[in-house]
Chain A
Amino acid sequence: MIIIWKIIQDALFAAIAGMGFGAISNPPLKAFPYIALLAATGHSFRYTLMEYVGIDIALASLAASLLIGFGSLWLGGKSKYPITVPAIPALLPMVPGKLAYNTVFSIIMFLQTINVPEEHGKYLYMLMDNGFLSLTIIFFLALGVAVPIAIFPKKAYSLTRRRF
């Protein structure tokens, strides 16, 4: 029961985060429910994979982004929004911001410990660790949108087409 509550909580906060970060990018008003739904589903799916299945953050992000991408394609048929309009705001809560600026911190610390070999090596390791991980996660998040477009190009390209 506690596990389900934790997953629901994760989904709820991800929905708020997706809508909030999405709002900065001025999406259509009617797209907000789709953004909330996709952000909640994707983020809680990633959380479940990481916490209860033991999958690493990069692969879990790939699985979640694909869920969001295909979900956005499916919902796009009804909402008439391009696949990226609900999908990108829904992916934003999974963008590894903390890892990205930890990468920059590692560069600064690496440069500051040039005369302290043992510290120097530690920060080089941190730089590689944070840098690779954040790049991989961002790449996987974008794949979540690119793969559905590559598999169903005709549908993905005509989501905003209306019948006249």
Chain B
Amino acid sequence: MPEKEDKSLEDATLFMSEYIATLMGSGVHTSRVVRNSRRMAESLGLEMQLSVFHRTVILNMEKGCYSSSKIVEVPTLPINFRYNSELSGLSWEAFDRRLPLEEIRSKYEKIVSAAPLNHNIVMLMAASANASFCRLFSGDWLSTLIVFIAAIVGFRVRRILTRRHTDFHLTILSSAFLVSLIASSSLLFNTTADIAITTSVLYLIPGVPLINGVIDIVEGYILCGFARLTKAMLIIFCIAIGLSLTLWIVKNGLI
């Protein structure tokens, strides 16, 4: 294989492995990852084969009779719908305009280096969402306020624990325990305390992996789908344990 060809195929494989890892790690459902990557590879004049698992992806790129393979480790990233949207758009742009690899890479870097939403705004929005849930479940205004405050504290604590690299499941369990414990202060008032306690932890429910898991299964990526659902079930289990600790303390019972 000529050296130049060899280098370009290797560079393309390296870039594709990063692109795929970012998509998979940030919670894009599997068929979209495969479609976007295939389109991107096609734009570079390459053929691509993928074998996708939850934690690793086996990537093979071919040009004529030459091929380059890589096993890609999927990083654990926060779910990011902006990547989903913009990296998908990038694959179309690369395909339609036949962009060279350097230009695709610089656009990719620009997308992944953009700042995420402000943490405090996200925290207030998530707490408002949780408070809205309390209202949707017929909680009164006092319960709604308590749930709002509890969610803010829980969000903050979760961030601190994540920054200290505390075990992920332990972080979820502690957050659920703390949030529900704060929400249980509603028992001191004449308010809808049960609704406040049970809705306080709902913001921790892993809705995105649950829905992505089923989409994967329906679209034929059954292993990935079950892996996502299993991960989501483990999170739900941790939430339930955290919440049950509170319920044992304040109510001496679970249901």
Beta-carbon contact of B236 and A145 below 8 Å: no
Asked if A138 meets B132 with Cβ closer than 8 Å, knowing A24-B203, A104-B237, the reply is no
Contact with A along B117-144 (1 / 0, CB 8 A): 1000110011111111101110000000
CB-contacts of A1-51 with B (<8 A): 9-10, 13-14, 16-29, 31, 43
Q: Which residue from A14, A18, A26, A104 sits with its C-beta under 8 Å from B80? A: A26
Q: Which residue from A43, A85, A91 sits with its C-beta under 8 Å from B211? A: A91
Q: Which residue from B28, B35, B93, B237 sits with its C-beta under 8 Å from A164? A: B93
Contact with B along A129-145 (1 / 0, CB 8 A): 00000000011011101
- In the complex, what residues of A have CB within 8 A of residue B218's CB? 142-143, 146
Q: Which residue from B78, B81, B125, B240 sits with its C-beta under 8 Å from A31? A: B81
Q: How far is the CA of A14 from the CA of B129 in the complex (A)?
A: 8
Q: How far is the CA of A101 from the CA of B207 in the complex (A)?
A: 13
- In the complex, what residues of A have CB within 8 A of residue B126's CB? 20-21, 23-24
Contact with B along A74-100 (1 / 0, CB 8 A): 000000111011001101110101101
- Nearest-neighbour CB distance to chain B for A99, whole angstroms, equals 10
Asked if A145 meets B240 with Cβ closer than 8 Å, knowing A25-B80, A28-B86, the reply is no
Beta-carbon contact of A27 and B82 below 8 Å: yes
Residue on A nearest B97 in the bound complex, by CB:
A164
- Nearest-neighbour CB distance to chain B for A122, whole angstroms, equals 10
- In the complex, what residues of B have CB within 8 A of residue A26's CB? 78-82, 116-117, 122
Beta-carbon contact of B128 and A145 below 8 Å: no
Asked if A98 meets B198 with Cβ closer than 8 Å, knowing A109-B254, A138-B210, the reply is yes
Interface size on B (CB < 8 Å)?
61
Q: Which residue from A19, A100, A102, A157 sits with its C-beta under 8 Å from B255? A: A102
Q: How far is the CA of A23 from the CA of B128 in the complex (A)?
A: 11
- Please tell me if B21 contacts chain A, counting CB pairs below 8 Å: no
Beta-carbon contact of A14 and B132 below 8 Å: yes
- Nearest-neighbour CB distance to chain A for B135, whole angstroms, equals 5
Q: Which residue from B78, B86, B132, B202 sits with its C-beta under 8 Å from A97? A: B202
- In the complex, what residues of A have CB within 8 A of residue B117's CB? 23, 26, 29
Q: How far is the CA of A9 from the CA of B241 in the complex (A)?
A: 32
Main secondary structure of the interface of B (DSSP, over half): helix
Beta-carbon contact of A13 and B81 below 8 Å: no
Beta-carbon contact of B125 and A20 below 8 Å: yes
- In the complex, what residues of A have CB within 8 A of residue B202's CB? 97-98
Q: How far is the CA of A109 from the CA of B255 in the complex (A)?
A: 9
- Please tell me if B244 contacts chain A, counting CB pairs below 8 Å: yes
- In the complex, what residues of B have CB within 8 A of residue A81's CB? 85
Beta-carbon contact of A16 and B129 below 8 Å: yes
Beta-carbon contact of A146 and B86 below 8 Å: no
- In the complex, what residues of B have CB within 8 A of residue A21's CB? 126, 129, 203, 207
Asked if A162 meets B89 with Cβ closer than 8 Å, knowing A26-B78, A31-B81, A145-B211, the reply is yes
Q: How far is the CA of A80 from the CA of B212 in the complex (A)?
A: 20
A-B contacts, 26 of them at CB < 8 A, read A13-B133, A14-B136, A16-B131, A20-B127, A20-B128, A20-B130, A21-B129, A26-B122, A28-B81, A28-B86, A82-B88, A84-B84, A85-B85, A91-B211, A92-B207, A95-B211, A101-B201, A103-B236, A105-B240, A109-B254, A138-B210, A141-B211, A142-B215, A142-B218, A158-B92, A164-B96
Q: A89-B81, A105-B240, A161-B92 are in contact. List 16 more A-B contacts (CB 8 A).
A: A16-B128, A23-B125, A24-B203, A25-B78, A27-B81, A84-B32, A88-B207, A91-B207, A92-B207, A95-B207, A97-B205, A98-B137, A98-B198, A109-B255, A160-B88, A160-B89
